[in-house]
Amino acid sequence: MINSERYTTYKDFFPHYLREHSKKRTRLLHYMGTGFSNLLLIIVVVTQNYYLIPLMLLAGYGPAWVAHFFIEHNKPATFQYPLWSLIGDHHMTLLMLTGRLKDKMSKAGVNT
C-alpha cells in the first residue's frame, strides 16, 4: 500500500496492524495496556467513578505508544485509524489468548 492510500475496510487494515506489531515486546506491552484499560473500564462502570477515565486511557495508550516509539520504531495506528486500532488491540489479544496469533501473523507476512 502506498502511504497516501487509506484502508477502507478493517479486513484490509488488520494485516497491516499485525505487521506494525512485529516484535514480541511490542505485543506484550499492548496486551498489558489492553488488559489494564479493560480492568479500569469495568471499575469505572461498577463504581461510576468517571474520574478514572483519564487513567483508563493512559493505561491503554501509554504502554502501546512506548512500544511503538522505542521498540517498534513506527507510528501508532491510533493516529490514523483510531477505532480500527482499538479493535485491533482487542483482536490481537484474543488471537494470542486462543493460540491463533502465530498463524495470523504469518499470513500477514510477519515471522514470529
Specify the amino acid at residue 97.
L
**Would you list the domain boundaries of the chain?**
17-107
- pLDDT tens by residue, 55-97: 999 999 999 999 999 999 999 999 999 999 999 999 999 999 9
The residue among 104, 86, 87 whose CA lies nearest residue 95 is 104
Residue-level pLDDT at 3: 52
Residue-level pLDDT at 82: 93
Read off the C-alpha cell for 98. Answer: 486462543
Residue-level pLDDT at 1: 46
Please tell me which residue, 90 or 2, carries the higher pLDDT value: 90
CA 29 to CA 40: how far, in whole Å? 16
Specify the amino acid at residue 43.
I
Say which DSSP state 19 is in: H
Q: What are the CA-CA distances from residue 66 to residues 11, 61, 95 (Å)?
A: 26, 8, 22
- pLDDT tens by residue, 27-45: 999 999 999 999 999 999 9
The residue among 1, 9, 22 whose CA lies nearest residue 105 is 22
pLDDT at 4 over 70: no
